């Protein structure tokens, strides 16, 4: 890549449009010269920004924001941009990039609330635009150039002091730089991954150990087992070991297998006894059930016999109730006929009466209807007459009311025109005065702007420091969180330790009780045997026929049962398991606390280091005494809690100091923006003031003309008025309207009365006709109903008075209730007779059983079964626990063996690759980077030997010495061809160091290009450093650079050293004045 042309406008110190043609010089080596701060380095910044959207210099991260790049030497109406035309493989590309920037709102001198965003365009060799997003375009440019921004900075720019630092940097510092340039992070990731895997295996091993110890601790050892002591000793040794002994676990497994087999045999014996006891219980239960059933049958027979006798006693009463029910039902069958007859009589009488009344009223209703019809016609004539009078008056009133309304509006307009005329005169006077004040204000704004011109850069520095302070505060909070976690685990540990002591004491007490109780129990067993011994007959245990000292019971000693001994044994075993588990938990928590404390100390130390870096050159901490206290933070004490408290206090103080200056700095920035905005609007405000005066004069003339027109119109309207006022006209209109409304309401009332009389007459005529037609039919229906009623009385054999008395006394539901009661009686009697017969058959030929005898027999069988089940359950539960432990241990041991083998292999690899082996501290990544450094030094020494007249060359530390003590794999030495010896690089003089740094930079540029496929970077800028060389060394350096520029490479030296102006013919001269930077070529 070779730059051909660079254009800038409103960028950095370049306010006006500036163009640099790199094809103009007649040599490829040229000097960029000018005063300090003139804008020399900004040229390279512009090239880097055009290609990558970032600058070569600026904030701590090497990147300036778009707003920082916007020039202060030109107004905000000029859009900042950089345009670079470059050549790559014979093809020309043009990239134009506009940074984020402030601008005015469209058509207004007012800043936009949010800045305009960054934009980029790329023109391809065929003239087409590469239309894509910023990210995609940046990626395409990087693809064309073939270098990342970091690589381009190393290859294309030798910056002030950077390569001097690289020359003397430690191996660890060089490693960070080389990682970015040569992408060696893969080898660091390999080491990091090994560390993660190693730690993971160590964690797995610890988890397996804890699980194995927990399983072993849960082993249940029966008191009767003959190898009890041996297996309990194995349990104690395994659970108390820091590291598990495989041989000890294997021995324990062997013991456990034998014990499980013994428990299995004991369980089979206990199961046999349990099954026999269960059969005996089932037989006893079946016998009791049969006896209980037979006894219930005897009781039921007596009960059912008594119940049947009670039922038979009610039979006579039931027969009387049945007869009474039939009488009530017959009476209620007559009731519908009686009701029907009564209804027909009532209807006939009502119809006759209504007919007589209506025939009497009919003549009077006809006379009323005729009178109302005549009155309604007269009322309608009066309404029509009044409507005509009202219409004539309404037209006259509306005309006058409109005239009065217009006169009112004319008065309002007249007063308004007079007021606006007076206001126009006042506005002109104010505009003249405002113009005078505006000039004074502009002068004041310029003075104020000069005082705070650096406010924006100070505010940017303040923002960076504030964010850094917040980051450090968060880091300290993370450390405090770790300490809080440690304290929480410590509290848990204390509780578990206290619980362990309590359980341990209980275990000791209960174990001692168990030993004494078991001894008494065993002695009792021996005592029972001793009482059965007969002198001269063999002992069943030892076979001896002599019994000189048989066991004698102690008087008054209580003999425990076997169940009590076993119960106490289970309690002791449970306590032993609990204390073993608590011991393992306490150890795990202690390990966790140790690890967290190490992390806590590391985090606090990192915070201290960050704070020391933060305070260096921090203008916002001036005058803070806590800055000095930070240097000796570890001197007084290594108590990290005390140190954290001090750090927290210092950080809070810093935060307050920085935050205290926020308002002042922010106010200055706002004030500066306001002043700049106000000054940019000054001319516009002057012009607006003059326009305001002219506008007021014009308005005054217009209002005076309006006054004349309004007066003429008012006079014309007043001459044609017929009423004294608008209210008088409206009152006359309301009076006429009221008279008309009264006439209309009177007419409506008459019409309503006429309609009601007509409707009433028609209704009466209709009713009379209907009743005349219905009267013969109703008479015939009444006669028929009388006959039906007489027939039903005869059928049911009731006199009229008799059935009515029955109905008055009883309801129909009374008859239903009586009928239901009779029916239930006969059903209950049949059911009782059938049940008694069934009971009789079941007890016939049998005796009444004695249930108590069967209960006692069942109780004995149940007690025997419960004892057998308890013993069997105790044996099987212990055996199942032990079998599960045995099944778990074998795969756990195999898994632990596999994981241990993997952990040891990973540990060895990590130690070698991470440089953690004594005498070999060089890590894998450094070893790989030595190859790149070796190639860099090969290219660098060709230049260094030429510059130093063959006196020096650069060498790496020998591979044998590179890992001793610490990692020195990338450390550099200088070899003297005169003395034949190597020495430290820091022993070089200032000029020699610059030549070495320049040679190293040139060699690194060669190596980066060599390692990046198809890269041909034909440009290099060297920024300062030549002032430290003597004349001869400078001539040698320039000669080497001229040789490099002899081909197609374009080399620009950025410097203000006077001697270079005499040695380099082609010069790009940079000057700066109050309008910003400008450039011009000076060609020899």
What would the 3-class secondary structure string for 823-841 be?
HHHHHHHHHHHHHHHHHHH
Nearest Cα to Cα of residue 96 among 108, 85, 109, 88: 85
Q: Model's pTM, two decimal places?
A: 0.42
Rounded-to-integer distance, Cα 692 and Cα 430, Å: 10
Q: Are 34 and 40 in contact (CB under 8 A)?
A: yes
Helix (H) or strand (E) holding 5: strand 2-9
Q: Is residue 796 scored above 50 in pLDDT?
A: yes
Q: Is residue 59 scored above 50 in pLDDT?
A: no
Measured in degrees and rounded to the nearest 5, phi and psi for residue 808 equal -65, -30
Burial of 535 (0-12, 13-18, 19+ CB in 10 A): exposed
Measured in degrees and rounded to the nearest 5, phi and psi for residue 701 equal -60, -40
Note the pLDDT of residue 61: 45
Rounded-to-integer distance, Cα 766 and Cα 775, Å: 15
Q: Is residue 82 scored above 90 in pLDDT?
A: yes
Residue-wise DSSP of 322-352: HHHHHHHHHHHHHHHHHHHHHHHHHHHHHHH
Tokens of 885: 């432990």
Rounded-to-integer distance, Cα 126 and Cα 480, Å: 62
Higher pLDDT, 341 or 539: 341
Q: What is the mean pLDDT of residues 597-612?
A: 82
- 139 band by pLDDT with thresholds 50, 70 and 90: very high
Note the pLDDT of residue 95: 96
Helix (H) or strand (E) holding 120: strand 119-123
In this structure, the chain runs to a length of: 1084
CA distance readout (Å), 502 to 376, 497, 508, 575: 117, 9, 10, 10
Strands of the sheet containing 2-9, edge to edge, are: 18-21, 2-9, 81-88, 91-98, 119-123
Nearest Cα to Cα of residue 50 among 88, 81, 21: 81
Determine which of 658-667, 734-743, 1047-1056 has the lowest per-residue pLDDT on average. Answer: 658-667
Q: What is the mean pLDDT of residues 61-70?
A: 65
Rounded-to-integer distance, Cα 43 and Cα 59, Å: 18
Note the pLDDT of residue 51: 92
Tokens of 85: 């035309």
Nearest Cα to Cα of residue 797 among 806, 809, 784, 808: 806
Positive or negative, the CA dihedral 248, 252, 253, 255 is positive
Rounded-to-integer distance, Cα 268 and Cα 359, Å: 119
Rounded-to-integer distance, Cα 686 and Cα 688, Å: 5
pLDDT in tens, 217-252: 888 888 888 888 888 888 888 888 777 777 887 788
Q: Are 1026 and 1037 in contact (CB under 8 A)?
A: yes
Rounded-to-integer distance, Cα 175 and Cα 184, Å: 9
Q: What is the mean pLDDT of residues 542-553?
A: 61
Rounded-to-integer distance, Cα 417 and Cα 414, Å: 5
Note the pLDDT of residue 21: 93
Q: What is the number of alpha carbons within 13 Å of residue 206 lying toward its C-beta?
A: 13
Nearest Cα to Cα of residue 924 among 202, 196, 201, 193: 193
- 58 band by pLDDT with thresholds 50, 70 and 90: very low
Q: Are 26 and 1083 in contact (CB under 8 A)?
A: yes
Rounded-to-integer distance, Cα 704 and Cα 709, Å: 9
Positive or negative, the CA dihedral 387, 388, 393, 398 is positive
Note the pLDDT of residue 540: 56
Q: What is the mean pLDDT of residues 802-822?
A: 84
N- to C-terminal Cα distance for the chain?
A: 26
Helix (H) or strand (E) holding 158: strand 157-158
Q: Are 669 and 456 in contact (CB under 8 A)?
A: yes
- 8 band by pLDDT with thresholds 50, 70 and 90: very high
Tokens of 274: 């349990």
Positive or negative, the CA dihedral 1008, 1009, 1010, 1015 is positive
What would the 3-class secondary structure string for 139-162 be?
HHHHHHHCCCHHHHHHHHEECCCH
Helix (H) or strand (E) holding 692: helix 682-719
Note the pLDDT of residue 589: 83
Q: What is the mean pLDDT of residues 822-840?
A: 85
Rounded-to-integer distance, Cα 458 and Cα 672, Å: 12
- 57 band by pLDDT with thresholds 50, 70 and 90: low
- 491 band by pLDDT with thresholds 50, 70 and 90: very high
pLDDT in tens, 112-121: 888 888 999 9
Note the pLDDT of residue 966: 82
Positive or negative, the CA dihedral 553, 557, 558, 563 is negative
Note the pLDDT of residue 530: 59
Q: In 3-state terms, what secondary structure has residue 99?
A: coil
Choose from 44-53, 341-350, 628-637, 1010-1019 the range with maximum mean pLDDT: 44-53
Rounded-to-integer distance, Cα 101 and Cα 115, Å: 5
Q: Are 778 and 425 in contact (CB under 8 A)?
A: no
Where are the domains positioned within the chain?
A: 1-146+1022-1084
Helix (H) or strand (E) holding 432: helix 315-451
pLDDT in tens, 263-304: 888 888 888 888 888 888 888 888 888 888 877 878 888 888
Note the pLDDT of residue 19: 95
Q: In 3-state terms, what secondary structure has residue 1054?
A: strand
pLDDT in tens, 623-652: 666 655 666 676 555 677 888 888 888 878
pLDDT in tens, 919-973: 778 888 889 988 988 998 998 898 888 888 788 899 998 888 777 778 888 888 9
Determine which of 135-149, 367-381, 1027-1041 has the lowest per-residue pLDDT on average. Answer: 1027-1041
Q: Are 249 and 238 in contact (CB under 8 A)?
A: yes
For domain 1-146+1022-1084, give its CATH number from 3.40.50.720, 1.10.10.10, 3.40.50.1110, 3.40.50.300.
3.40.50.300
- 97 band by pLDDT with thresholds 50, 70 and 90: very high
Higher pLDDT, 318 or 628: 318
Rounded-to-integer distance, Cα 222 and Cα 634, Å: 59
- 715 band by pLDDT with thresholds 50, 70 and 90: confident
Q: What is the mean pLDDT of residues 734-748?
A: 81
CA distance readout (Å), 99 to 67, 148, 150, 1064: 7, 20, 20, 34
Note the pLDDT of residue 776: 87
Q: With both helix axes pointing from N to C terminus, report the angle between 812-843 and 246-312 in degrees, rounded to the nearest 10.
A: 120
Rounded-to-integer distance, Cα 82 and Cα 99, Å: 9
pLDDT in tens, 852-873: 887 888 888 888 888 888 888 8
pLDDT in tens, 411-467: 787 777 777 777 777 777 777 777 777 778 777 877 887 777 777 777 777 777 778
Q: What is the mean pLDDT of residues 589-608?
A: 83
Nearest Cα to Cα of residue 435 among 681, 690, 684, 678: 690
Tell me how many degrees the CA angle 516-521-527 measures, rounded to the nearest 5.
125
Residue-wise DSSP of 504-573: HHHHHHHHHHHHHHHHHHHHHHHHHHHHT--TTS--TTT--S--SS---PPTTPPPPPHHHHHHHHHHHH
| Helices and strands in the chain: count of H runs, count of E runs | 24, 14
- 1028 band by pLDDT with thresholds 50, 70 and 90: low
Nearest Cα to Cα of residue 950 among 1051, 1041, 1059, 1040: 1040
Residue-wise DSSP of 172-213: HHHHHHHHHHHT-HHHHHHHHHHHHHHHHHHHHHHHHHHHHH
For the chain, give the mean pLDDT: 81
Spatial neighbors of 1037 by CB under 8 A, at least 6 apart, are 947, 995, 998, 1026, 1029
- 821 band by pLDDT with thresholds 50, 70 and 90: confident
Nearest Cα to Cα of residue 426 among 700, 92, 64: 700
pLDDT in tens, 15-32: 999 999 998 887 888 899
Rounded-to-integer distance, Cα 949 and Cα 1036, Å: 8
Rounded-to-integer distance, Cα 214 and Cα 579, Å: 11
Spatial neighbors of 663 by CB under 8 A, at least 6 apart, are none
Higher pLDDT, 925 or 576: 925
Q: Is residue 542 scored above 60 in pLDDT?
A: no
């Amino acid at each position: 890549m070779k730059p051909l042309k660079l254009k800038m406008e409103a960028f950095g110190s370049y306010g006006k449009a500036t163009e640099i043609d790199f094809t103009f010089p007649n040599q490829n080596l040229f000097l960029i010269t000018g005063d300090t701060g003139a804008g020399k380095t900004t040229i390279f910044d512009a090239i880097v920004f055009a290609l990558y959207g970032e600058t070569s210099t600026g904030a701590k991260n090497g990147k300036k924001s778009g707003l920082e790049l916007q020039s202060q030497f030109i107004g905000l109406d000029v859009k900042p941009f950089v345009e670079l035309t470059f050549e790559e493989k014979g093809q020309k590309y043009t990239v134009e990039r506009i940074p984020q920037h402030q601008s005015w709102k469209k058509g207004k001198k007012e800043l936009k609330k949010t800045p305009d965003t960054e934009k980029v365009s790329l023109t391809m060799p065929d003239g087409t635009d590469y239309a894509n997003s910023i990210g995609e375009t940046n990626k395409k440019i990087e693809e064309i150039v073939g270098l990342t921004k970091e690589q381009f900075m190393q290859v294309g720019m030798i910056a002030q002091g950077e390569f001097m630092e690289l020359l003397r940097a430690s191996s660890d510092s060089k490693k960070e730089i080389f990682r970015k340039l040569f992408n060696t992070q893969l080898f660091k990731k390999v080491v990091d991954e090994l560390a993660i895997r190693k730690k993971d295996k160590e964690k797995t091993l610890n988890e397996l150990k804890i699980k194995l110890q927990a399983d072993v601790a849960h082993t249940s050892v029966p008191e009767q087992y003959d190898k009890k002591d041996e297996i309990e000793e194995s349990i104690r040794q395994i659970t108390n070991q820091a590291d598990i002994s495989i041989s000890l676990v294997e021995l324990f497994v062997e013991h456990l297998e034998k014990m499980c087999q013994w428990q299995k045999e004991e369980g089979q014996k206990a199961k046999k006894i349990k099954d026999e006891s269960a059969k005996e219980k089932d037989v006893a239960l079946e016998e009791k059930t049969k006896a209980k059933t037979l006894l219930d049958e005897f009781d039921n027979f007596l009960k059912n016999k008594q119940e049947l006798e009670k039922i038979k006693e009610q039979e006579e009463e039931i027969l009387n109730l049945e007869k009474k029910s039939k009488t009530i039902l017959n009476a209620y069958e007559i009731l519908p006929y009686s009701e029907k007859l009564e209804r027909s009589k009532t209807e006939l009488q009502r119809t006759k009466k209504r007919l007589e009344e209506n025939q009497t009223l009919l003549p009077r209703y006809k006379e009323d209807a005729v009178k109302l019809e005549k009155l309604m016609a007269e009322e309608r004539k009066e309404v029509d007459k009044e409507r005509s009078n009202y219409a004539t008056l309404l037209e006259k009133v509306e005309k006058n009311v409109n005239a009065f309304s217009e006169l009112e509006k004319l008065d309002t307009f007249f007063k308004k025109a007079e007021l606006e005329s007076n206001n126009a005169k006042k506005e002109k006077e104010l505009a003249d005065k405002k113009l005078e004040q505006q000039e004074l204000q502009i002068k004041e704004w310029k003075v104020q702007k000069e005082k705070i011109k650096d406010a924006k850069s100070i505010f940017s520095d303040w923002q960076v420091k504030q964010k850094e302070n917040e980051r450090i505060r968060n880091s300290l909070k993370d450390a405090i969180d770790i300490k809080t976690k440690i304290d929480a685990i410590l509290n848990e540990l204390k509780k578990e330790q206290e619980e362990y002591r309590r359980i341990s004491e209980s275990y000791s007490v209960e174990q001692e009780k168990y030993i004494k109780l078991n001894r008494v129990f065993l002695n009792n067993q021996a005592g029972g045997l001793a009482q059965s011994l007969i002198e001269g007959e063999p002992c069943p245990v030892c076979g001896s026929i002599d019994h000189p000292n048989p066991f004698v019971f102690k008087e008054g000693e209580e003999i425990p049962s076997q169940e009590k001994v076993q119960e106490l044994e289970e309690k002791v075993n449970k306590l032993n398991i609990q204390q073993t588990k608590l011991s393992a938990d306490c150890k795990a928590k202690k390990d966790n606390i140790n690890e967290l404390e190490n992390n806590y100390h590391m985090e606090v130390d990192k915070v201290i280091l960050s704070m020391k870096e933060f305070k260096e050159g921090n203008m916002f901490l001036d005058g803070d005494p806590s800055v000095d206290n930070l240097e000796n933070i570890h001197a007084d004490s290594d108590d990290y809690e005390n140190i954290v408290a001090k750090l927290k206090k210092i950080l809070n103080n810093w935060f307050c100091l920085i935050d205290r200056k926020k308002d002042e700095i922010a106010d200055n920035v706002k004030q500066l923006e306001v002043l700049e905005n106000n000054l940019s609007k000054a001319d516009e405000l002057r012009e607006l003031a003059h326009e305001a005066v002219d506008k007021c004069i014009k308005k005054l003339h217009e209002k005076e003309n309006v006054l004349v027109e309004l007066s003429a119109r008012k006079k014309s309207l007043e001459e044609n008025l017929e009423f004294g006022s608008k209210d008088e006209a409206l009152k006359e209109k309301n009076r006429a309207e009221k008279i008309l409304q009264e006439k209309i309401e009177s007419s409506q009332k008459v019409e309503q009365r006429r309609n009601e009389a007509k409707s009433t007459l028609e209704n009466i005529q209709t009713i009379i006709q209907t009743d005349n037609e219905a009267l013969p039919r109703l008479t015939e229906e009444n006669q028929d109903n009388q006959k039906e009623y007489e027939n039903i009385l005869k059928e049911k054999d009731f006199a009229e008075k008799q059935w009515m008395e029955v109905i008055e006394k009883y309801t129909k539901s009374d008859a239903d209730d009586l009928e239901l009661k009779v029916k239930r009686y006969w059903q209950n009697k049949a059911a009782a007779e059938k049940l008694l017969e069934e009971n009789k058959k079941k007890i016939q030929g049998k005796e009444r059983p004695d249930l108590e005898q069967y209960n006692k027999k069942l109780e004995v069988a149940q007690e025997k079964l419960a004892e057998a089940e308890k013993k069997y359950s105790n044996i099987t539960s212990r055996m199942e626990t032990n079998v599960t432990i045995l099944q778990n241990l074998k795969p756990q041991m195999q898994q632990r063996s596999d994981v241990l083998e993997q952990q040891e292999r990973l540990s060895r690899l990590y130690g070698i690759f991470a440089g953690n082996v004594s005498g070999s501290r060089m890590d894998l990544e450094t070893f790989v980077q030595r190859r790149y450094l070796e190639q860099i030094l090969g290219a660098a020494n060709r230049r260094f030997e030429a510059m130093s007249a063959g006196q020096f060359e650069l060498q790496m530390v020998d591979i044998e010495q590179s890992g001793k003590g610490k990692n020195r794999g990338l450390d550099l030495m200088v070899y003297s061809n005169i003395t034949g010896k190597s020495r430290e690089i820091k022993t070089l003089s200032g000029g020699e160091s610059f030549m070495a740094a320049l040679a190293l930079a040139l060699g690194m540029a060669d190596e980066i290009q060599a390692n990046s496929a198809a890269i041909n970077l034909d440009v290099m800028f060297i920024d300062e450093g030549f002032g430290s060389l003597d004349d001869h060394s400078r001539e040698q350096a320039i000669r080497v650079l001229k040789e490099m520029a002899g081909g197609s490479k374009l080399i620009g030296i950025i410097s203000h050293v006077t001697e270079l102006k005499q040695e380099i013919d082609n010069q790009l001269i940079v000057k700066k004045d109050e309008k910003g930077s400008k450039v011009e070529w000076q060609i020899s």
